[in-house]
Amino acid sequence: MTIRKLGPHARQAILCGLACFVLLELGLAVAIDGWLPQFRDPFYGIKASGLRRHIEEKKCGPNAGEAGDVAAKPPWTVVMLGNSRTGHGLVARQLEIDLERELGRRVVVFNFGLPAAGPMVELLSLRRLLAEGLRPDLLLVEVWAPFLTGPPVAETAFVTIDRLGNSDLPALEQCHWPVAGLRKSWQRTWWVPSWSHRFAILSMIVPTFVPGHLRQDWCRLADETGWVPNDVTVPPAQHGDLIARVQAEWQQLLEHFDPETPSCQALRQILETCRRERIPAALVLLPEGSEFRSLYRPEIWNEIQAFLHDLSAEHAVPVFDTRSWVVDEDFSDAYHLLVRGAMSFTERLGREVVLPLLREQDPK
């Protein structure tokens, strides 16, 4: 039966239904582009909302407006970009307390670690934050060698069309990422956000309806400063098998190094953005267990160090190698820190890296 054979009331009901569907899709698409970024990219959206909320809480905290009080000064904002290693490793609340005690003023420290985020995702996150007016006074950027060497396997899986906005595509293009196909897909899927963003929307509203491997609500595990505690321990009898799997998974990404990969280009773009926006920045290589550090071939590691040295010299940005700061027992899998390791790393990072960098800045 065709629509022409239906009665006038039935045809009217169908046309009204189609019109409502189109209007709802357009409204949802506009809302996602405008003020619901968590429905496009929950990983970023949850953290960005948390950062904005935490800054406002600091501004409006006790004694915030008392004249002559150091608390009346606007808070410094320190943000660290990275992947889940940062997410588990930087205890931002602890670092805030330590910095405020030493500096005598309010400090916001926020852990912006996102799952599987390499330089490409870090670049997109920085550009999005700046577009929203969330400008850090100091930016720490995690650098992890497996995400610099070879093809960006993990980032390819996470830089997908459903997580990207139209404004993200030029940044990818600058990094020599193939965006022609992405742009066409984005234009097609923009009209049906309830389908293209279905897993993101469900992850935000009813996450239990989404299979575990498709859920995008990991950042909900974070505290108010973005830290996600890691208490996943492995029985000693299974430790050897775990390390063997980790080594097999990451070894292939440490076989060669090309400083012209999209990931390396993205790291350059991050530093270019910081220089253009006059944001002090630092590159940080996070702790790794000795079993993971053993994967680096000396010649490959020398090439990576030379690349980072050149970046540091070109952009006047320091590089801090903290890979050996934490003992093996404080990792869950040789590269993700447990809570005790995170506390130890954060305390030393604040004392040796963040505090000196903030003291170099003029008071606001």
162-194 pLDDT, tens digit each: 788 878 888 888 887 777 777 777 677 777 777
pLDDT, position 301: 94
Catalogue all structural domains in the chain, each as residue range(s) with its CATH number: 39-62+69-359 (3.40.50.1110)
Integer CA distances (angstroms), 130 to 193, 270, 279, in order: 25, 12, 11
pLDDT tens, position by position, 45-93: 999 999 999 999 988 765 554 444 455 678 899 999 999 999 999 999 9
pLDDT tens, position by position, 280-328: 999 999 999 999 999 999 999 999 999 999 999 999 999 999 999 999 9
Q: Which of 108, 140, 127, 98 is nearest to 364 (CA)?
A: 108
pLDDT, position 67: 41
Mean pLDDT estimate for the chain: 85
Buried/exposed code over 280-306 (b: 16+ C-beta within 10 A; e: otherwise): bbbbbbbbbbebbeebbeeebeebbee
Using DSSP, state whether 202 is helix, strand or coil. Answer: helix
CA 193 to chain centre: 23
Contact 261, 307 (CB under 8 A): no
CA 140 to chain centre: 11
